[in-house]
Structure 1
């Protein structure tokens, strides 16, 4: 799927001539990226920020001055978005450079800084990582024909070992710490939680922990920092049953020593022997039907061992 824009474009050679005739140059990327790498004399206003609409008129008050905008790469869209915003502000001579900053440099514009410092956080520092239990989030949602219930469960411990593309690890959940968040009446919430802990569902007394063991993590060929960029191939051990489970996840290394993992997925509880309310096993359930898929949302922060 492509995104359509109506910005006026210039070839790098055409853009260079416009610049030589007095046009302003605008770099619409983040200040951090601008500090690493930009065209000489370019002004910076980050198009990702709401303040962009106030900052550009401060930098370029004359709306009749030609403005040449470049993107950080030939495939990035920030220059196109910036051009549309400037036209809505009333700027009458807004142009986008085809090919982005590298094309402008090849045409003869002087570059300041180096792109080597830029990183989309897709290269992960090898080593041992431990999950922060205090800020981990694991949310669950169960549904039936009348609606849904949702709540949380706590991470007990977690670790990950990264050696280049070789990734494995393990995360253990405390099943005794199931909570419900949707029922306003605390007594009803307690009844639901007791139901979930009972042998009808997760048999928590017999199986107080659930563990997902990662055997390997395959990176998506089209991985980006905002996409589902890995598939975690592993084994979920729940209610005394261990079965293979593949989880789509987003990895982002937010700093040299911190890795963020976020995932949203469904699994079929009946594959782990949780059969209560499943029409796959029982007939004439009436109001007691409970849908087989359970939705899980997780966010973990893992810190590298120093």
Structure 2
């Protein structure tokens, strides 16, 4: 068997290469912002997350036999491994991955360079909400809906009027007010039947806007999951929706992210059985012989909440 194209190298062994001035090309595979903040001395940069990653490598070398040492964030992160696999598929045959990445290098006591060596960026891997009170940004927040019958799908938006999110011990609760009178339709945009549909949705057949112009959703508990990965559903939301004069419980998973400036963005997709709030028009649970007036009970909801931390 020949020598494997990809090998791991410990920080100690790589440091010996550095001291001995062994020929190699050292490549940081992380984002440009992270590279500016902190990187190994002498490292070049080629971000594995960029679509032109291979072009970035080609700008460094076209020699498929060159000794390349790739490193990423830590032993938990697959950045360098994926970067090496991409290069192996392109025919590079002398690849090394720095074991433990930049974290392992620093833990072993070796130096780093960059603008924030003393305060390197935190890994954006697991959700850790910062305690405080956050005001909903109504302009950036939106609730999208979609309803169906056997032949047609209609969708649109409802405006989130205002709200507040409170985080204590990393767990969010809060209240949001929804402006039902601002319900809109997108599927019939430009069609003369669009205002007819909107008017019907506002009528007593559906949301009865004249009597119930707003809806309120209260988060009674937001429980982060055991491993709340930022890129996956990470908070289980238990709450109560007050709609058309009826309060009923609602449970769904949400994907929550907190930016460095403190802004919280939460996104969720779930199905809502409208009949629980006495919206029974077109439902075969309550009517027979509906014909063209049949409407499925389930409304698909997609919601985005953006909240800014209050001073």
Shift of 1:14: 9.0
Total equivalences in the alignment: 301
Structure 2 partner of 1:69: 70
For the pair 1:266 / 2:265, whether they are aligned, the reply is: no
After TM superposition, the structure 1 = structure 2 runs for residues 112-261 of structure 1, keeping only pairs within 5 Å, are 112=113, 113-114=117-118, 116-120=120-124, 122-261=127-266
Local SS of the residue matching 1:262:
strand
Unpaired runs of 5+ residues, structure 2, are: none
CA contact (8 A) 1:207 1:240 kept: yes
For the pair 1:10 / 2:8, whether they are aligned, the reply is: yes
Residue 19 and residue 69 in structure 1: after superposition, are their counterparts in 2 closer, same or farther (change >3 A)?
farther
1:84-123: per-residue Cα shift (whole Å, max 9, x none)?
Answer: 3323444332233444334445667544435753242733
CA contact (8 A) 1:36 1:114 kept: no
Shift of 1:19: 4.4
Question: Mean Cα displacement is larger for which, 235-244 or 123-132?
Answer: 123-132
Unpaired runs of 5+ residues, structure 1, are: 1-5
Shift of 1:83: 1.6
CA contact (8 A) 1:216 1:233 kept: yes
Q: Distance in 2 between matches of 1:190 and 1:52?
A: 49
Shift of 1:63: 3.3
Shift of 1:56: 1.8
1:108-139: per-residue Cα shift (whole Å, max 9, x none)?
Answer: 75444357532427333322211111222211
CA contact (8 A) 1:174 1:208 kept: yes
Local SS of the residue matching 1:134:
coil
Q: Distance in 2 between matches of 1:227 and 1:220?
A: 10
Q: Distance in 1 between matches of 2:198 and 2:30?
A: 48
CA contact (8 A) 2:9 2:96 kept: no
What RMSD over aligned residues (CA atoms) do the two structures have, in Å?
2.5
1:195-235: per-residue Cα shift (whole Å, max 9, x none)?
Answer: 11111111111110011011121001121121111112111
1:232-283: per-residue Cα shift (whole Å, max 9, x none)?
Answer: 2111000101111113212111233311121111111111111112222223
Residue 104 and residue 255 in structure 1: after superposition, are their counterparts in 2 closer, same or farther (change >3 A)?
closer
For the pair 1:39 / 2:40, whether they are aligned, the reply is: yes
Local SS of the residue matching 2:57:
helix
CA contact (8 A) 1:15 1:68 kept: no
Return the TM-score normalized by structure 1. Answer: 0.88
Return the TM-score normalized by structure 2. Answer: 0.87
